[in-house]
């Protein structure tokens, strides 16, 4: 149980870091990058320890992770269109 309490404390610390980073009001791009990096660290801790992927067979762990990563990579194709609209956009009334 001690191991899980340590992971839980790490997760709480990361949440505190996320809030601190947001309160420092960095540019939106930097804030997004920082928050995403911290969220992925949180997710990795949750997957490996709380969801026990660390203790499953490697083949199982990588099958699960790769399936999600491939799905996420395939979703990235429409960002080009979002940024096209960003550069086209007109000011709000």
Partner 1 sequence: MAELTAVREPSPFGVTSRKLGIWMFIVADAATFAALLFAYGYERVANPDWTRPFSFWPSITNGIVMTVVLLTSSLTIIAAVLAAQAGRKTSALRWLGATMLLGALFAALHLREWIVMIGDGWRPFRNPLGGTPLVGATFFSITGLHLLHVVTGVVVIGVIALGYRRGRFEPGHLETVGLYWHFVDLVWMFVFPLVYLMNMR
Helix (H) or strand (E) holding 43: helix 28-45
| Paired tokens of 11 | 């997760």
Site string for partner 1, 38-77 (x = CB under 8 A): xx--xx--xx--xx----xx-xx--xx--xx--xx--xx-
User: What residues contact residue 45 under an 8 Å CB cut-off, 6+ apart?
Assistant: 7, 10, 11, 14
Minimum distance, C-beta of residue 55 to partner 1, in the bound complex (Å)? 11
Among 24, 33, 54, 83, binds partner 1 (CB under 8 A): 83
Q: What is the largest CA-CA distance in the chain?
A: 57
Both tokens of 41, joined, read 């660290």
Judged by CB under 8 A, does residue 30 bind partner 1? no
Q: How many chain residues are in contact with partner 1, going by CB under 8 A?
A: 48
- The DSSP output letter for 27 is -
H or E element, residue 17: helix 2-23
Site for partner 1, rule CB under 8 A? 1, 4-5, 8, 11-12, 15, 18-19, 22-23, 28, 31-32, 35-36, 38-39, 42-43, 46-47, 50-51, 56-57, 59-60, 63-64, 67-68, 71-72, 75-76, 78-79, 81-83, 85-86, 89-93
């Amino acid at each position: 149980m001690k191991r899980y309490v340590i992971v839980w404390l790490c997760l709480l610390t990361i949440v505190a870091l996320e809030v601190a980073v947001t309160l420092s009001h960095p540019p939106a791009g930097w804030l997004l990058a920082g928050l995403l990096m911290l969220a992925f660290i949180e997710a990795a801790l949750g997957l490996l320890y709380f969801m026990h992927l660390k203790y499953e067979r490697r083949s199982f762990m990588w099958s699960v992770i790769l399936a999600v990563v491939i799905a996420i990579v395939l979703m990235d194709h429409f960002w080009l269109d979002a940024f096209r609209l960003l550069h086209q956009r007109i000011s709000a009334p």
